[in-house]
Amino acid sequence: MGTRNFEDVARLPNVKKALAEARPVTGIHLDSDIMGATKGQADLLLPGIPNLKPETVDGVTIIVGVVGLKLSALRYHSKRFQQLQEQRKQEIERDERLIAIVRQGMVMSEKEMIFEFEAFMFQIKSTLDMLVKLFVPIFGSKHADLSTYGKAGQKIITHLRQLKLDKKKKLAHGRVDLLIELIQQAIDPWLKPLIALRDTISHYSSRIRIGFTWDVIGDEIKIPMADVSGAEHPLVDVMKTEAERLINYSSQFIAGTILCAIPVEKRHRLLTEMDKKYVSALWGMDMSRAILTLASNLIDYSEEHVQQAHELHLKNKAKLLGSTDGR
């Protein structure tokens, strides 16, 4: 977050009030598309919850904000891993003595790359655990009932099935089933291989080596590879893919959880590309990865609407910040 961004945040009425009362406020910049996939997605659907309470909005906002932070960390660790890999590979290629050692069969491990990979895997688990915490403000679940995502989501599925039996919750049972289906569909093609990948590095299995080896066929230095579901891939590519996949899953999980608390008579629909452009302009964040909105928000937006939304965003921002110069 640049200086100007921090200045703008510090001028927000609620932030000014908190700072004046000597209450600390944390300012942090997240990737715009991650903001849209998490907070933006939540903001699109929360108004559909009957008798929505401020504490529910606050609870959801805090949780999706932390999810967004962890997703940003995933991107950071995968990018940092790639930077270290490229740097070290070039160093080895310039040193004939190191090349000779690698040719002999030594795996030249790099501790910094191991650190980044382990941090990456930690953030994946932490992101999943944080998503589950949405059940507290949305369903009224207790923190003690479901503190983690559990083994590939099985713990969550059991909890959701129990929630369906509680008539006081007045949840949309069909939408609860859809959320369970989302969790189940992620297990075999995605989460199980990912968990296996995490376990191999945790137990230092030979199936994955955070180091450089010699490619006999290509007669060159070989970057760290990983066995994923029986196929070998560059580890850095696996990290990038899984980071982006978890961003998409997080957006779907957030949307699916909120929908469970919205009566079935309140319909929802997929966002069109023009919807995303319009809301992006209106809210000042990249909504390209958000997926659902309330069906009542059905307008055939045009490029003119998008431009008007951008101008309205700037005007509202200036008004909120108490600015008269249009900043």
Give dist(CA 277, CA 250) in Å, integer. 21
Residue 39 pLDDT > 90: yes
pTM for the whole thing?
Answer: 0.85
Confidence of residue 16 (pLDDT cuts 50, 70, 90): low
**C-alpha–C-alpha distance, residues 167 and 172, integer Å:** 10
The CA distance from 135 to 145, in Å, is 10
Burial of 36 (0-12, 13-18, 19+ CB in 10 A): buried
Segment 179-193, tens digit of pLDDT: 999 999 887 777 777
Q: What three-state secondary structure class fits 215?
A: strand
Predicted confidence band of residue 167 (pLDDT cuts 50, 70, 90):
confident
Q: Let me know: does 120 contact 239? Beta carbons within 8 Å.
A: yes
Phi, psi of 179 (to 5 degrees): -65, -40
What are the tens digits of pLDDT across the range 83-142? 999 999 999 999 999 999 999 988 888 889 989 998 998 999 899 999 999 999 999 877
On whether the CB atoms of residues 203 and 195 are closer than 8 A, the answer is no
Residue-wise DSSP of 62-82: HHHHHHHHHHHHHHHHHHHHH
Interior/surface letters 220-229, b for 16+ CB within 10 angstroms, e for the rest: ebbbbbbbbe
Asked if 183 and 150 touch (Cβ cutoff 8 Å), the reply is no
- Reduced DSSP (H G I as helix, E B as strand, rest coil) percent helix, strand, coil of the chain, to 5: 65, 10, 30
Residue 14 pLDDT greater than 70, yes or no: no
Please report the pLDDT score of residue 164 as a whole number: 87
Convert the pLDDT of each residue in 285-327 to its tens digit.
Answer: 999 999 999 987 556 767 776 777 677 677 776 666 665 344 4
What is the number of other CB atoms lying within 10 angstroms of the CB of residue 137?
A: 22
pLDDT the model gives residue 209: 62
**Phi, psi torsion values for 75, nearest 5 degrees:** -60, -40
